[in-house]
Amino acid sequence: MKFGVLKDIKVGEYRVIATPAEVSTIIRDGHSVYVQRGAGAGSGFCDDAYASEGAILADTMEEIYGNCDFVAKVKEIEPSEYSLLRKDQIIFTCIHPAAHPEEVQALLDSKCIAFTAEDCHRYGSPNCEAAGKQGALMGLESLLAIHGGKGKFVNGLGGAPGIKALVLGGGIVGKAAASILHSLGAWVTVMDINIGTLREIGRQFNEEVNTQISNRYNIKKLLPEIDVVYNCVKWPKNATEFLIDREMVRSMEPGSVIVDISNDVGAIETFHETTHADPRYIEEGVVHYCVSNIPGAISQSTSIAYAASVLPHFRSIMNNGIAVACTRDGFLRRSLTAYRGYLTHEETSGIQNRPWIRPEDILDIADQTLDPAPPATRTKSNHFIKLSGF
């Protein structure tokens, strides 16, 4: 099979989906690898490093799409790429399909086979860990007076107290953020809706962080005394109310900071997405840091960890075929998003009101022993496509 590594073109994105280490492994499996020139430059991997492992260097993304059976990158498919998608071509990237209807339509129209990478991780994405850890530092930087913040230092100075940080969400992102803040001496509170998660966090940090159940009452009560808020909650895209509304933002002291790591529209009323080039804005006196691809700032570390985590999926698909790969790994199966013109992603069906078919049905593997995986989200859809034979 011909495997293609694209250079990501999203503004402010420096990561690469495969380093020379993964390319070497794929080639040893007997496949050809095409790498777009400059794909690894933002992460510190030069073209020669790929070529020395046997990769074929391609000048343009058009060459990658035109020559390769399997194409991979880090971030969403951009509009300039829609016309390059081909029937039966395998696409693997972070599609975020429920939030991008035009992208989904392009995938369906092309009749390609697309996997949304963010749903494929059995142990959580390294991108989430990276976003939490680096996001914690971005929040501390945003608190500096030179960026409009209060000018407080994370663990204080002699006679001056350290900061109070609120982490919303106790998943991989939240735990990663809390680990950095705790290690630097901040006073940390973590909120989550699962008391079991909060107990786990308490044990992880030797009961040196505060934990509370996450609800609007507790958040609203605590916000006026918080210096930095980190939103690490995967907010439902069809939610009817904000996690933090404008009045709650207004209750924070001037120069306080909100870091929206999750970047889900609808969680924080004063949110709008920013980029690394212009990462902050001030609204209601509060500094907002809302960069959507925080891990891109630590591109080499993130690329090394992320590429290693998805390599088993690449190898399984190329060595065993899609049906077998999805039978053996439920997390890969649930990430299948589009299959030859059919939507196979439940959350996208529920949010966009599109008909869908389960991956196990379209792949004709429902009668086999399938590796189990929990649903990627709580969004459900019974808007099924009816096909003869299913």
User: Which residues form the catalytic set?
Assistant: 96, 264
Pinpoint the alpha helices (H) of the chain.
20-28, 47-51, 61-67, 101-110, 126-142, 172-183, 195-204, 216-222, 246-250, 299-320, 322-328, 330-335, 346-352, 359-362
Rounded to 5°, the CA angle 308-5-91 comes to 90
Cα–Cα distances in Å, from 366 out to 133, 332, 361, 362? 39, 15, 6, 9
Backbone angles phi, psi at 167, to 5 degrees: -105, 120
Interatomic CA distance for residues 355 and 340, integer angstroms: 14
Report the DSSP pairing between strands 336-339 and 280-283: unpaired
Amino acid at 348: T
Q: Which is nearest to 77 in space by CA: 109, 55, 52?
A: 109
Secondary structure of residue 229 in the 3-state scheme = strand
User: For residue 17, which of 27, 31, 7, 29 has the smallest C-alpha distance?
Assistant: 7
What DSSP state is assigned to residue 232?
-
